[in-house]
């Protein structure tokens, strides 16, 4: 690793991970400096959620080390792990709001479980968190009564209920309309600065990320294939980053999932080689 540990809040050092025999991450190394918002970009299924779960200690790498706040996550026992997780907030990809509780109770949940604060203080704290995402008026509603964008923001408020030092966002922009999307983006930046926290945003939304983050990593096929500040990324000549930034169909990332011969599979006779463009068959 290049930077010194004292400056990074999260360090991932040469980590391998596989589900069964299927290798998902192959020698990933990255650094998330304290106080910064870092994006981890990559296509669907490239292992972004897996990476967050490794940081949160819900998965253990088969090789390499994940360090959060200077501590090796794999070396923690259960109590140590839970103590560490109290410093983390996670926005799940699909919100994961508790469906049997109101919005208010969802956000109060951790305060009630982890603190002995009196109920009127919890009430004030919850309303403050809800106000920060602009949804104080929804306190009495249930998750099923919220729109997708509202549910995302409630989940966001819940992720920061305990003022975590590290906030992880799993695809916070997916499936949002443009307005909700930029509201969520601004909120992520605002919360990070207001709490003095460190944030990791996992996403494939390059446009929004370039506007709000301090640094970006690109993951493809289990490896880091590029990284840089937003300015460096915008001007990058690396093929993968160009493909991602400019949404080109053709590039290092193949459009086709590996498969057998198309014509054989359809039961067609082998065809003549494709005729060059412009020429008549």
Given other proteins, ligand ADP, Mg ion, none, residue 45, with its beta carbon under 5 to 8 Å by kind, binds ligand ADP
Count the residues in the chain. Answer: 281
Our CB check for other proteins shows the closer of 162 and 245 to be 162
DSSP per position, 17-28: EEETTEEEEEEE
Distances in Å between the Cα of 236 and the Cα atoms of 135, 229, 240, 243 are: 39, 10, 10, 10
Given Mg ion, other proteins, ligand ADP, none, residue 19, with its beta carbon under 5 to 8 Å by kind, binds ligand ADP
CB 244 within 8 A of CB 67: no
* Among 48-56, 117-125, 136-144, 205-213, the segment contacting Mg ion (CB under 5 A): 48-56
Which H or E run contains 65?
A: strand 63-68
Q: Smallest distance from the beta carbon of 49 to ligand ADP, in angstroms?
A: 3
DSSP per position, 128-182: HHHHHTT-GGGTTS-GGGS-HHHHHHHHHHHHTTT--SEEEEESTTTT--HHHHH
CB 96 within 8 A of CB 130: no
Our CB check for other proteins shows the closer of 7 and 99 to be 99
* Among 85-93, 125-133, 183-191, 223-231, the segment contacting other proteins (CB under 8 A): 85-93
| Binds other proteins (CB under 8 A): choice among 88, 156, 181, 184 | 88
Our CB check for other proteins shows the closer of 19 and 94 to be 94
Given other proteins, ligand ADP, Mg ion, none, residue 172, with its beta carbon under 5 to 8 Å by kind, binds none
110 is a site residue for Mg ion (CB under 5 A): no
Q: Give the whole-angstrom CA distance, residue 22 versus residue 18.
A: 5
| Binds other proteins (CB under 8 A): choice among 92, 117, 149, 189 | 92
Q: Measure the CA dihedral 262/265/266/270, to 10°.
A: 70
How many C-beta neighbours within 10 Å does residue 72 have?
Answer: 12
18 is a site residue for Mg ion (CB under 5 A): no
Which residue(s) pair with 216 in the sheet? 39, 228
| Binds other proteins (CB under 8 A): choice among 1, 75, 83, 268 | 83
Q: Smallest distance from the beta carbon of 100 to other proteins, in angstroms?
A: 8
Q: How many separate helices (H) and strands (E) can be counted in the chain?
A: 10, 10
Which residue sits closest to Mg ion, CB atoms considered? 49
Residue 41 phi, psi (nearest 5): -105, 150
Given ligand ADP, other proteins, Mg ion, none, residue 50, with its beta carbon under 5 to 8 Å by kind, binds ligand ADP
| Binds other proteins (CB under 8 A): choice among 56, 61, 172, 222 | 56
* Among 3-11, 94-102, 177-185, 270-278, the segment contacting other proteins (CB under 8 A): 94-102
Distances in Å between the Cα of 181 and the Cα atoms of 13, 34, 170, 186, 279 are: 32, 25, 14, 9, 46
| Binds other proteins (CB under 8 A): choice among 28, 97, 139, 181 | 97
Q: Interface with Mg ion by CB under 5 A: which residues?
A: 49
Q: Interface with other proteins by CB under 8 A: which residues?
A: 56, 58, 81-83, 85-86, 88, 90, 92-94, 96-100, 109-110, 113-114
């Amino acid at each position: 690793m290049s930077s010194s540990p004292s400056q990074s809040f999260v360090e991932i050092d040469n980590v391998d991970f596989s589900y069964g025999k299927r290798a998902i991450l192959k020698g990933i190394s990255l650094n998330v400096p304290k106080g910064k918002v870092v994006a981890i970009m990559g296509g669907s299924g490239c292992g972004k959620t897996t990476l967050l779960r490794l940081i949160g200690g819900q998965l253990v790498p088969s090789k390499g080390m994940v360090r959060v706040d200077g501590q090796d996550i794999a070396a923690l026992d259960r109590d140590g792990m839970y103590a560490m997780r109290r410093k983390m907030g996670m926005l799940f990809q699909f919100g994961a709001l508790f469906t049997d509780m109101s919005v208010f109770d969802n956000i109060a949940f951790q305060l009630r479980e982890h603190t002995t604060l009196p109920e009127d203080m919890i009430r004030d704290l919850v309303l403050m968190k809800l106000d920060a995402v602009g949804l104080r008026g929804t306190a009495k509603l249930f998750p099923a009564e919220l729109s997708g964008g509202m549910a995302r923001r409630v989940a966001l408020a819940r992720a920061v209920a305990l003022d975590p030092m590290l906030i992880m966002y799993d695809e916070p922009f997916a499936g949002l309309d443009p307005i909700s999307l930029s509201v969520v983006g601004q909120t992520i930046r605002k919360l990070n600065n207001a709490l003095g926290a460190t944030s990791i945003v996992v996403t494939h939304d390059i446009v929004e990320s370039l506007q709000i983050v301090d640094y970006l990593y690109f993951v493809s096929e289990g490896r880091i294939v590029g990284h840089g500040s937003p300015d460096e990324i915008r001007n990058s000549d690396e093929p993968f980053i160009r493909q991602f930034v400019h949404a080109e169909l053709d590039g290092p990332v193949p459009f086709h999932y590996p498969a057998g011969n198309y014509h054989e599979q359809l039961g067609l006779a082998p065809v003549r080689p494709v005729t060059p463009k412009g020429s008549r068959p």
